[in-house]
Amino acid sequence: MSSLNPDPRVRHTFWTLAVGGVFLMLSLYGVNQAQVQRYLSSRTEREAVLSCYMVFPCLQLALMLSCVMGLVMFACYGNNSPVEQHLISSKDQMVLYFVMDMLQNFPGLPGLFVACLFSASLSTISSAFNSLATVTMVDLIKPHFSMTDARATLLSKMLALMYGIVCLVMAYVVHLMNSSVLQVSL
C-alpha cells in the first residue's frame, strides 16, 4: 500500500484505494437505499445532513476496528494459518475461529460475540429486505394496481420474504463458486 504509483492498472496503491474509496463512499451515502430512506424520512434537510454526520464516524470506527482485527489475526496466524493446519475448512471461518481461540478462557464471551455478530447482521439485512420491498411496492406495483392498505402490507411482507429467499439462493450459489466473491464482484 506504500506505493504512490499513479498507474490505475496496479492494484492496491494509494491512488487506487483513495479514488476507489471515494466512489465506495458515494455509493454508500449517495444511492444506497437504506441511506436514501433515512434522508427521505427526515423532517428537514438539516436533520438529514445531521444523520449523515452521525452515521459516518460510526461506520469509519467499525471499518477501522475490522481492519485492526484483520491485522491482529495476521499477527497471530500469519505463518501458521488455521486453514493450512486444517483446523478450519475455509478462510470465511477465520473471525469466529480467532474469537474462539482468543476468548476460550472467558466462558460466555465467545457466545456473546457471535450473538452480537448475528444481531448486527440480521438488523442490517432486514432493513435491506424491507427497503427492497418498499421500493418494489411504491415504484412497480402501486402505480399499476389499486389495493387496500392491508393487502399492500401483506404483499410487502411477501416481497420481503421473497427477497430473503432469493438472497439465500444466491448465497448458496456463491458458496459453490471456486473463486473469491470479492474477486468476482470487482
Q: pTM score, two decimals?
A: 0.66
DSSP state of 186: -
Pairwise pLDDT comparison (83 vs 155), residue with the higher score: 155
The pLDDT of residue 185: 65
pLDDT in tens, 40-64: 888 999 998 898 888 888 888 988 9
pLDDT in tens, 126-181: 888 988 898 899 999 999 999 999 999 999 999 999 999 999 998 888 878 766 66
The pLDDT of residue 39: 83
Question: Whole-angstrom Cα distance, residue 57 to residue 44?
Answer: 21
Mean pLDDT of 100-120: 92
Q: Which of 26-35, 107-116, 118-127 has the highest mean pLDDT?
A: 107-116
8 A C-beta contact, residue 132 and residue 159: yes
What SS3 class is residue 14? helix
Pairwise pLDDT comparison (95 vs 2), residue with the higher score: 95
The pLDDT of residue 184: 64
Give the position of cell 475448512. 89
DSSP state of 31: S
Cα four-point dihedral sign 6, 10, 15, 19: positive
